[in-house]
Amino acid sequence: MREFYPKKGRVILHVDMNSFYASVEMAYDPSLKGKPLAIAGDAKQRKGIVVTCSYEARKYGVKAPMPIWEAKKLCPQLIVRKPNFDRYRLVSKAMFDILRTFSMLVEPVSIDEGYIDITHCHELGTPVQIAKKIQTKITNQLDLPCSIGIAPNKFLAKMASGMKKPLGITVLRKRDIPSVLWPLPVIEMHGIGEKTAEKLASIKVFTIKDLAHAHDMQLQAAIGIRGIQLKERANGEDTRKVDPEAMSLHKSVGNSMTLPRDISNQAELLGVLKKLANKVASRLKRKSYVTNNIAIMIRYNNWETVTRSCTLPNPVSAARDVYQAAKTLFIKHWNGNPVRLLGVTGQDVIKADQAFEQLDLFSYEREAKKEPLYDVIDEITKKYGPSSIKMGIDQKKEES
């Protein structure tokens, strides 16, 4: 079997579970199979949005994040189920356990997808045979469908896994790039969203081929240094290794401030805390991270130092959420003595696209609607400074 494996380089699979939440519900309740199913809020109250849906529902045009009332209009027979997050996590763990029976080089990137390096697994068969075995094992043990991309690097494997759904297996070699990838619209490339596609269109980059041949300086002017990385990807270049420890690394993002004088006024201290929370939130957003845990540090004028933290019910990155958690901790643990240093830290940091919120669909809907507002606020504060936007109540206080 060695002849099917490169003498140099890697063979990487990207395993992508098909319509994961809906498929899990069908596995637990077989009567749902073959029917249009959406995982969303309470259909009776006509609230919430579609998080995911079965392929049967997609045929009617149902998709995320569509409001339930609109989905029901497109597909009157749509079955709506509330999400069961604990169930999905349990099944996700079982899925990754199956992948590790083929290779220990497994890197989860979200609850329903991950990479597996099979470069040294030639004794198990050809790459395509191994992919078929993985598919069969997941289907037999978990009753779930998945699509698998086979490629020499992570980017191409990710692109390949999305080409045939559900239950597809796609091989994408570097020599296939000009005929398979380059004709695609740039929006279909992994790592490019609508906003980036719009910026690329402004420099006449419409297809992946256009991106692969774009001028470096034009790319940097349009979308920054990330443009060069995207160009490399468009040419099939990706040196990232499959890292089993990638998701288990506990990173943190924090800021602290030594005060110009010892302060014992609570309002002043909370003002400092708010500035620190804003800085932490800004760094989280910039790195596309969210945090599951907020910690504060209080150093008194006698150098006594207290650190306290709390685990959050859902991962956050917004300044108001970071501040609210930090404020609650501070009020609870500050002893009233003068403070010389304050610190706020987001702990257990993970990539935003890997976060999986333990919340009901109503809060999911609220947060989804607010995201454009937060983006606008971030842009304004970056351009005009942190005091350019203030809460109305604060402005009235200042005027009075």
> What's the whole-model pTM score?
0.66
Task: State the pLDDT at residue 398.
Answer: 40
Task: State the pLDDT at residue 203.
Answer: 95
Task: State the pLDDT at residue 248.
Answer: 59
Is residue 42 annotated as involved in ligand binding? no
Please, what sign has the CA dihedral across residues 299, 305, 311, 315? positive
Task: State the pLDDT at residue 381.
Answer: 58
Task: State the pLDDT at residue 361.
Answer: 40
Task: State the pLDDT at residue 7.
Answer: 78
Q: How many CB atoms lie within 10 A of CB 287?
A: 14
Task: State the pLDDT at residue 313.
Answer: 82
Is residue 16 annotated as involved in ligand binding? yes
Q: State the catalytic residues.
A: 113
Task: State the pLDDT at residue 237.
Answer: 96
Residues lower than pLDDT 70 in the chain = 1-3, 41-47, 247-251, 353-400
Q: What is the pLDDT of residues 284-342, one digit of tens each?
A: 888 778 888 899 999 998 888 888 989 888 888 899 999 999 999 999 999 999 999 99
Dist CA 125 CA 133 (whole Å): 9
Task: State the pLDDT at residue 386.
Answer: 52
Domains and CATH numbers, the chain: 2-19+86-176 (3.30.70.270), 20-84 (3.40.1170.60), 180-233 (1.10.150.20), 251-358 (3.30.1490.100)
Q: What is the pLDDT of residues 24-52, one digit of tens each?
A: 999 999 999 999 999 986 555 445 788 89
